[in-house]
Amino acid sequence: MRKRLKETVKDLFPDGDAKVYSSFDLIGDIAITKLPDFTLANARAVAEAITQRHRSIKAVFVQSSAVTGEYRVRSLTQIFGENRTCTVHKENGCLFEVDVEKCYFSPRLSHERLRIATLIQPNETVVNMFAGVGCFSILIAKYAPTARVFSIDINPVAVHYMKKNILRNRVFGKVIPLLGDAETLIRTHLQNLADRVLIPLPEKSLEYLPAAVAALKPLGGWIHIHTFEHATKTEDPAKKTVCRVGEALAKLNICFEILFVRIVRSTGPNWWHLVADVHVVNRHKT
């Protein structure tokens, strides 16, 4: 499908920009594309190509800023269809309502969300430190109905949609939505209780490692930490993440093993989004 769109776009932009123009995300019935230096005429041509291939798309937006700020949101410019940024996205059997301009959402995390959900054991307590509209948390509760997930976000709009998504996906009482700063909430209410902690904020995750460790039960558990890594063709991004996460954990005086690392997605030339699965064997070194 993407290949066919790429070919269509190549015909529209034979000057070599086709690769950029043909990259887009589908979130519910909204398409979001990145068009550097776009003109309305070429943006409309891309929108037409997308909507011809994806008949269910009701609105197309160009991402007009980087993902930025504490809430990790972006500005959007409407180029086709309905002028609304709210939609319902179907993923892994769940429905997620989201305002794509006021909250963070990426369909490219779908596989990682499923991978984590399948790791959860019966009766686990999970702390999701950066939950957005609740995708990891809700999928976990769907896959492991005896699990309890504390689902934190600092963006009030994201928590508003998280609460709606909890009801929509029938996981009320299993996913507990919490509005606020993850570190403060852990230090005041969520210490020593988690079997597993998610840190899906790659740009700042290392800063939050001490709070993640504090949330774990005294005998330890799992931490899934996301990172961004720059790696040239001769470098291995996974090795770089193991080094950086390992160094940060070594300062915390805990017993740990980094048992798995994977690339979640590419985020630009030579830039990668990774996740490392850390097993904390004991929160205090003996």
Q: Judged by CB under 6 A, which of 144, 158, 199, 212 binds ligand SAM?
A: 158
Angle between helices 135-143 and 110-117 (to 10 degrees): 40
Distance between CA atoms of residues 260 and 262, nearest Å: 7
- 72 neighbors 101 (Cβ within 8 angstroms): no
**Of 58, 9, 56, 61, which is closest to residue 32 (Cα–Cα)?**
61
Instruction: Pick the stretch among 23-31, 147-155, 242-250, 278-286 that binds ligand SAM (CB under 6 A).
Output: 147-155
Instruction: Pick the stretch among 16-24, 38-46, 130-138, 245-253 that binds ligand SAM (CB under 6 A).
Output: 130-138
Considering the complex, state which of residue 5 and residue 129 has its C-beta at the smaller distance from ligand SAM. 129
Size of the residue set binding ligand SAM (CB under 6 A): 20
- Give Cα 127 distance to the centre of its chain: 15
Token reading at 91: 């993923």
Mark residues 50-89: x for contact with ligand SAM by CB under 6 A, - for none. --------------------xxx-----------------
Considering the complex, state which of residue 72 and residue 196 has its C-beta at the smaller distance from ligand SAM. 72
Q: Please, what's the b/e burial string for 162-185 (b: 16 or more CB within 10 A of its CB; e: otherwise)?
A: bbbbbebbebeebbebbeebbbeb
DSSP letters, 194-246, are BSEEEE--TTTGGGGHHHHHHHBBTTBEEEEEEEEEE--TTS-HHHHHHHHHH
Q: Judged by CB under 6 A, which of 132, 177, 221, 237 binds ligand SAM?
A: 132
CB of 1 to ligand SAM, least distance (A): 23
Distance between CA atoms of residues 166 and 170, nearest Å: 6
225 to 254, contacts with ligand SAM by CB under 6 A?
Answer: none
Instruction: Pick the stretch among 13-21, 131-139, 229-237, 257-265 that binds ligand SAM (CB under 6 A).
Output: 131-139
Considering the complex, state which of residue 5 and residue 131 has its C-beta at the smaller distance from ligand SAM. 131
> Interface with ligand SAM includes 165 (CB under 6 A)?
no
Mark residues 86-115: x for contact with ligand SAM by CB under 6 A, - for none. ------------------xx---x------
Angle between helices 40-53 and 2-12 (to 10 degrees): 150
Distance between CA atoms of residues 33 and 77, nearest Å: 10
Binding site for ligand SAM (CB under 6 A): 70-72, 104-105, 109, 130-132, 135-136, 152-155, 158, 181-182, 200-201
